Amino acid sequence: MNKSNSGNVVKVDNNYTFCPNCGKILFIDGKSRCKKCGSYIPMNDSKGEGDSSSDHLPNELKEIKIGIKKDISSATVEWEKYFPYLEIRPLQKQIIEKISGNMVQGSQIIIQAANGVGKTISLLAAVLPIAKERKKTIVYCCRTHQQMSRVTEELKLIKQLNQVTGLALRGRRELCLHHIIKKFAVDAANASDICRYLKKEGKCKYFTNLAKKPKLESVNKIVQNKVLDSQELIEIGKNLEVCPFEISVKSLPKANVVATSYQYVFNPFIRKILLNNLEKELSDLIVIVDEAHNLPSTAVDISSSSLSNYSIDNASSEAMKHREGEVYDFLESLSDTLMNEIKSMY
């Protein structure tokens, strides 16, 4: 196997062949066709297009069996208790063993691997036994909501084999059931402000319901020991008429794995809230960063402020409405300056 190793960076994508037609990593079906685009791939030692066996393929190209393990024997090594599939690809095993070794030494690891290798399940299987033993929470930072769902899907399979809890943590704007936020909140900060106001004024039934003992008991019973994705949180919230965001916050201290966006770890303000809700210190977390090459641009976003023309116009209208002449003049001059700047760029 053509493995390149540089410090803690493990390059595994060199091991793969890519489809000459679609360029995706090549998994071949029983008829020697690329599973992604369906084009015929002649194999050197192919037994012909009608051959339904994949025995002639190199190990790296074999698809893993879809079956799920039903039980684990006493001789099973720790990570195998968290790997739910019947078979493991050689690259997945390499990743798991590399991570386990590094974590025992307390060091960091960077994994570079192509799409389709099965990184998510490999990472979870490697890290979960160590996290549980050391009573740490895994925070799995994802760039997209789809990747968060992938984490909860894999956790649900692991749960069939071994007890594990977790959730996909999304913001108020995505989880809120209140019609005002659903209709008017323009961003996360705005949703947070409106929510604070509604809670303070007692105008959100989904929040006030949580103070009712029977509702709270029902919530606790339903979410106990569960793996929950955002859609399930919303469904539970709708059924019980309680706030899905607050349910997710209440579930945090018991979660083994929290799949969330980069902001929850790399934005110092939001991280403080997360740690508070987890009832943990930063040193109690094991952080996995998916697609970590996006971190520099995320850091730039977190450190940047922006002010839209739309916000300035709204503020001007408010200032006029409340007869704040000085503020109005300042905002108008700010708007003119910005518009002139923009025009001078073209």
Contact residues: ligand SF4, CB under 6 A: 172, 176-178, 181, 195, 198-199, 204, 206-207, 243, 245-246
CA angle 280, 260, 264 (to 5 degrees): 55
56 secondary structure, DSSP code: T
Q: How far is the CB of 270 from ligand SF4 (least distance, A)?
A: 15
In the complex, minimum distance from the CB of residue 282 to ligand SF4, in angstroms, rounded to a whole number: 26
State the Cα–Cα distance between residues 113 and 306, nearest whole angstrom: 35
Please, which residue, 81 or 199, has the CB nearer to ligand SF4?
199
In this complex, which beta carbon is closest to ligand SF4, that of residue 3 or of residue 238? 238
Nearer Cβ to ligand SF4, position 151 or 176? 176
Q: What is the DSSP letter of 320?
A: H
In the complex, what is the shortest distance from the CB of residue 186 to ligand SF4, in angstroms, rounded to a whole number?
Answer: 15
Q: Which is nearer to ligand SF4, 47 or 238 (CB)?
A: 238
Q: How far apart are CA 18 and CA 109, in angstroms?
A: 26
- Judged by beta carbon, residue 28 or residue 219, the one nearer ligand SF4 is 219
What three-state secondary structure class fits 171? coil
Tell me the DSSP string of 79-129: GGGG--BS---HHHHHHHHHHHHHHHTT---EEE--TTS-HHHHHHHHHHH
Minimum CB distance to ligand SF4 smaller for 177 or for 285 = 177
> In angstroms, what is the minimal distance from the CB of 174 to ligand SF4?
10
* Rounded least distance, CB 317 to ligand SF4, Å: 25
For 310, other C-beta atoms within 10 Å of its C-beta total: 9
Q: What is the DSSP string of 1-53?
A: ---EEETTEEE-GGG--B-TTT-SB--B-TTSBBTTT--B---TT---TT---
**How far from chain centre, in Å, is Cα 282?**
18
Q: How far is the CB of 245 from ligand SF4 (least distance, A)?
A: 4
